[in-house]
A and B are shown apart, each in its own frame.
Chain A
Amino acid sequence: DAGVIQSPRHEVTEMGQEVTLRCKPISGHDYLFWYRQTMMRGLELLIYFNNNVPIDDSGMPEDRFSAKMPNASFSTLKIQPSEPRDSAVYFCASSFRGLGNQPQHFGDGTRLSIL
């Protein structure tokens, strides 16, 4: 079975540019999570969806960040305009129902560098 697929794997862009990160969850999973990993803050949840509906976006740092899930097989995380402090590894994860001990399965992450 294919795991969570993220693209691109690496992104380098100049500050002020729009950045779009993409995620395809595991088929059949109804929860999708976006995490950010930095040295300073570790792994932190940005937002998560259930059945394509955003449930908790309290981790989204500011209005420059937005996330969408137009269907069950695709989600995007957009940063506009990007800033150097947004440089991090962004992970997408999915799980089935999110119940109990069902683990979250992570993609390989997107390493984002804002110059």
Chain B
Amino acid sequence: AQTVTQSQPEMSVQEAETVTLSCTYDTSESDYYLFWYKQPPSRQMILVIRQEAYKQQNATENRFSVNFQKAAKSFSLKISDSQLGDAAMYFCAYKRETSGSRLTFGEGTQLTVNP
């Protein structure tokens, strides 16, 4: 079974600074997908960024980027120029390549942004 581990229960960053959230996963499959979701206090689950395992290029969405290391099974999220609105719980998630497969979530990292 696949597992996803986020080893940082809490992180904090100063506004306008950069922060990196860690995620590792365990799988025996070669094709899969990885996601970062953000859950603000409103408890919505908002997709931040996605990465296909077959792509070597790291995904980027504006201030959000990932460092995908397939061999190390690592998928970290970098937030640049942090804003107060970035404060939230961040979940790393794994999805098998086959259609209809479930998301397996990590435990989450609570990010605080200090003004």
Residues of chain A at the chain B interface (Cβ within 8 Å)? 31, 33, 42-45, 48, 50, 55-56, 89, 91, 93, 97-101, 103-106, 108-109, 111
Contacts and interface: CB of A to CB of B under 8 A. Distances in A.
Nearest to B105: A43
Interface size class of B (residues with CB under 8 A): 20 to 34
B100 A101 contact: no
A101 B33 contact: yes
Given A100-B33, A101-B33, A103-B50, A45 B45 contact: no
Contact of A91 (B42, B45, B46, B52): B45
Interface string B46-86: 11001110000000000000000000000000000000000
A91 B100 CA distance: 17
7 contacts: A33-B102, A48-B100, A97-B100, A106-B46, A108-B43, A109-B43, A109-B45
